[in-house]
Structure 1
Amino acid sequence: MRKLALTAALAAAPLPALATGLDIEVSGQANGTIHIELAEDLAPAHVAQITALAEEGAYDGVVFHRVIDGFMAQTGDVQYGREGTDMSMAGMGGSDMDDIPAEFSDQPFERGTVGMARSQNPDSANSQFFIMFAPGEFLNGQYTVVGEVTSGMEVVDQIKRGEGPNGAVTADPDVMTEVTVTE
């Protein structure tokens, strides 16, 4: 009984100490700043890649291309997800960097959790990530948790929802106008 209570307490605990974060300026239907604390201790390779892409400005001007109400908002396709381009390929690309091997953890997918998007191959995450609108227990242990939103969830909640079962946003998507690495 005591072990079960301790496990539940650990699962409900906030993410471990974090040193690096992202400030994401969003414009469109949603306007404002989302601050994400990155979990370097849970997913060091993923955090290093996201940070490198942000530092080189690769995320600036990238849209939220897949947004499913009650689930998540996905962005980060630096290849095909640029504002003002043909959105038909958005979500199919990545960056010039190598894909990253999975760094699964016991950290649950809760509201505000940031995870890495990937194909069916667990080792295919590259540049795309998603922010949870609500808990998604079915993702636990299946996708890499890279951080959590610590301020600006009201901005996340305003992101334009997509259409159809895959939540594709094909017209006037919200945009990450500037993504800055914080300490």
Structure 2
Amino acid sequence: MYKTAAILTLLASPALATGLEIDIAGEANGTITIDLFEDVAPLHTAQITAIAESGAYDGVVFHRVIDGFMAQTGDVQNGRLGSDLSRAGTGGSDLGNIPAEFSELPFERGVVGMARSQNPNSANSQFFIMFEPGYFLNGQYTVVGEVTDGMDIVDAIKRGTGANGLVIGRPDVMQAVRVTE
């Protein structure tokens, strides 16, 4: 069930962010800059912004990384570095799920999309960054932004293994996530 009041509160905030700066540490080290598409996915970008402003993304790992496809992070409930990461990728935030905001924007290299379960209206806090185009995702997942600087850092994120891209050992982590205006 959507937490409509929480979503409306997020939308009523005076100014939505225009982006994120994410400090990455591990095999990849550096900062990536993401431009958020408030006009394309206002509910999703408002939720990401609220989570980032609260500091909940700080210390969250890239738990699923598939070479030639994408790097996924954002599980603020079960994906924190130093915790038991066996359930990483199964949690979300306290803000509730967001209804899909599909668009005509294609999943190109550097595009940021919202992760979800089989239910199209189940996106919450997790997101992924595309290494390569993934047009099969078009119209199936919500596009929320794109990397505008630091794609070389994204390319260096530790890869997972197997078909699901589970990262074994110490995964790369979002050390700090800042909202930019």
Regarding TM over 0.5, the answer is: yes
Matched with 2:22 is: 24
Matched with 1:43 is: 41
Question: Cα offset for 1:92?
Answer: 0.3
User: Does structure 1 conserve the Cα–Cα contact (< 8 Å) formed by 2:17 and 2:179?
Assistant: no
Task: Write the deviation string for residues 7-62 of structure 1: whole angstroms up to 9, x where unpaired.
Answer: xxxxxxxxxxx961000000000000010000000000000000000000000000
Question: Cα offset for 1:170?
Answer: 3.0
What amino acid is the match of 1:43?
A
Matched with 1:9 is: none
Structure 2 CA distance for partners of 1:177 and 1:19, relative to 1, 3 Å: closer
Counterparts in 2 of 1:135-174, with a 5 A limit?
135-174=133-172
Matched with 1:13 is: none
Counterparts in 2 of 1:10-159, with a 5 A limit?
20-159=18-157
Unaligned runs of 5+ in 2: 1-15
Task: Write the deviation string for residues 158-179 of structure 1: whole angstroms up to 9, x where unpaired.
Answer: 0000011100013110000000
Matched with 1:181 is: 179
Q: In 1, distance between residues paired with 2:160 and 2:177?
A: 22
Q: In 1, distance between residues paired with 2:70 and 2:135?
A: 13
User: Does structure 2 conserve the Cα–Cα contact (< 8 Å) formed by 1:88 and 1:170?
Assistant: no
Q: Which runs of 4+ in 1 moved over 3 A?
A: none
Question: Cα offset for 1:85?
Answer: 1.1
What amino acid is the match of 2:83?
T
Q: In 2, distance between residues paired with 1:95 and 1:107?
A: 26
Count matched residues. 166
What is the DSSP-based 3-state SS (H/G/I as helix, E as strand, rest coil) of the residue aligned with 2:62? strand
Higher-Rg structure is: 1
Unaligned runs of 5+ in 1: 1-17
What amino acid is the match of 2:100?
A
User: Does structure 2 conserve the Cα–Cα contact (< 8 Å) formed by 1:87 and 1:170?
Assistant: no
Identity over aligned pairs, percent = 75
Q: In 1, distance between residues paired with 2:83 and 2:69?
A: 26
Normalising by structure 2, we get a TM-score of: 0.90
User: Does structure 1 conserve the Cα–Cα contact (< 8 Å) formed by 2:17 and 2:49?
Assistant: no
What is the DSSP-based 3-state SS (H/G/I as helix, E as strand, rest coil) of the residue aligned with 1:45? helix
